[in-house]
A = this chain, B = another copy of it.
Amino acid sequence: MTKDAAIRELDALDRELVLLSHISSTLVWDQDATPPAAKSGRGEQLGYLDALIHNKATSGEMEEILSALGASADAPEGFDELPEHTRAVVRQRYRALLKEGKLSSDFVHNFSVLTARAHEVWTEARACDDFSLYEPVLRDLVVFIREKADRYGYEDDPYDPLLDSFEPGMKTGEVATLFGEMKKDLSQLLERMRGREPVEDSFLYQSYGKESLKEFNADVLKAMGFDSDRGIVGESTHPYTITLGSDDIRITTRYTEKSVLSPIYSIIHEGGHALYEMGMSSKGNRGTVVANAPSLSFHESQSRFWENIIGRSFAFWEHFYPKFSSLFPSQLSGVSLEQFYRAVNKVSPTAIRVDADEVTYSLHIILRFSLERKLLTGELEVRDLPQAWREGMKELLGIDITNDREGVLQDIHWSMGEFGYFPTYALGNLVGAQITNTLNSKIDIEDVVRTGDFEPIHTYLREHVYEKGALYDPKPLLHQLTGEDLKAHYFSDYLRQKYL
């Protein structure tokens, strides 16, 4: 195969795999709409697509093309003289070929079918607050996950290859070190904040009209630069972002929670993900595997940047509060901008991770990281998980968990087979704060936010982060952006400055 032919064939196969992943996302998006008896049929369909993608990504054809482009253990990006985009495709596809090639097509299909069932069982168990319903299928899942780690292979830690699927090149030990620093910093910060007068926020817990909230959310998304020609906003029990095509990015929120902040911050958070997805597909990487974040922590850095650093800033509400309070004059009668801002930034340990404030959020993640590592090694049995959860929450956040719905059953992720995924949420806080530190040296973020026109921020991130996609691995990209490796202190610095 000539090099030119190989470049063309790689491009075609790469685009085909991306298209198949978009088709699969459409089936996932539609999953909530299926009638009750159709759940397992949808699981089969998703399992079929997963296996099809797996087979194409690990096929002899893929191997032949990549080797014609010089990909090898010594040159994972192929020949030096390949175009930069092609080198990124080669790197991504070669890495997947080596790693996923260790799983059989049957393994992938069965894992996919199992997670579809686990998701269904988890939904029921959570609704009934009954961990015993979930326990057997979670046990099966842990067995599968262990086998997956074994098949992938590892040197030091079985958690490494799982983490690597979400954070290419990062080791469990590095996460443990960063999380150790973070735990220390956050605990100290919480300690220093102890004894403060409780923040009055009861006005958040009233009935706010859904239509007016939707109007407000639309305004915020527009200010962020969300392109409604290429995206839609829906509703779901758990807010999420999903990409069904290069021009089909969907986010959801929910209007069912008690606090009015839930629908707003869900939209800003998912909107941050959506800006990333839109940006990465807007230029040359569109429709290829390079239209991806280099890691999930990079993706999460953007959602949490918009949600917290922008959305919970005083400048943000300086701009938006007049509009917001005019939409809800009776609910916010007598509530000043300053009071509202304080309520939005109330720090108080909660049982539910997604309700957590900026300061305590990462502690929830640190607990999950520790538990899933123990599950993996067998140090912790699935049946003992609820108890370990309670103990961990008591130790890290000082609160008592009285039921599993607000404990171990709260998250969807394990039911989806996502082990090694949780750390990316806390790492995202670190990446976001580190990028913000650089951004602040180029743009006065506060000044921009106060105007309500976020275009300068969006433009910087689009050019330097979103459009890059997965052209570079996360570590070199972060270095390129900030001149440093990932550090824990930027996030702690940000929190200390804001809360002390």
Contacts and interface: CB of A to CB of B under 8 A. Distances in A.
Interface string A27-52: 10110011111100110110011000
Max chain B C-beta neighbours (<10 A), residue from A35, A246, A247: A35
A37 B278 CA distance: 12
A49 B48 CA distance: 13
A244 interface: yes
Contacts of A231: 35
Q: Report, as a range, how many residues of chain A touch the other chain.
A: 20 to 34
Given A23-B49, A26-B30, A41 B245 contact: yes
A34 B234 CA distance: 11
B247 A41 contact: yes
A175 to B, nearest CB: 36
Interface string A226-244: 0111111000000000001
A353 interface: no
Contacts of A41: 22, 245-248
Interface in A45-99: 45, 48-49
A16 interface: yes
Contact of A230 (B37, B42, B232): B37
A249 B34 CA distance: 9
A445 interface: no
A19 interface: yes
A27 B26 CA distance: 7
A41 B248 CA distance: 8
B45 A19 contact: yes
A187 to B, nearest CB: 44
Contact of A38 (B34, B48, B245): B245
Given A38-B230, A42-B248, A45-B245, A23 B33 contact: no
A350 B79 CA distance: 69
Interface string A255-269: 000000000000000
Contacts of A229: 35-37
Contacts of A48: 16, 19, 23
A30 B33 CA distance: 11
A11 to B, nearest CB: 15
Contacts of A26: 26-27, 30, 45
A248 B23 contact: no
Contacts of A228: 35
Nearest to A249: B35
Interface string A12-28: 00001001001100110
A282 to B, nearest CB: 11
Contact of A33 (B49, B232, B247, B249): B232
A299 to B, nearest CB: 20
B22 A45 contact: yes
Nearest to A37: B247
Contact of A232 (B19, B35, B245): B35
A106 to B, nearest CB: 14
B38 A248 contact: yes
Interface in A448-473: none
A34 B249 CA distance: 9
Contacts of A248: 34-35, 37-38, 41-42
A405 to B, nearest CB: 26
A245 to B, nearest CB: 4
Contacts of A230: 35, 37-38
Interface of A: 16, 19, 22-23, 26-27, 29-30, 33-38, 41-42, 44-45, 48-49, 227-232, 244-249
Q: Which 8 A-B pairs have the closest CB atoms?
A: A38-B248, A41-B245, A37-B247, A38-B247, A37-B229, A37-B230, A35-B232, A38-B245
8 contacts: A23-B23, A23-B48, A26-B30, A33-B232, A35-B229, A35-B230, A35-B232, A38-B230
Given A23-B23, A23-B49, A37-B229, 14 more contacts: A19-B44, A19-B48, A23-B45, A26-B45, A30-B244, A33-B232, A34-B232, A34-B244, A35-B230, A37-B230, A38-B230, A38-B244, A38-B247, A41-B247
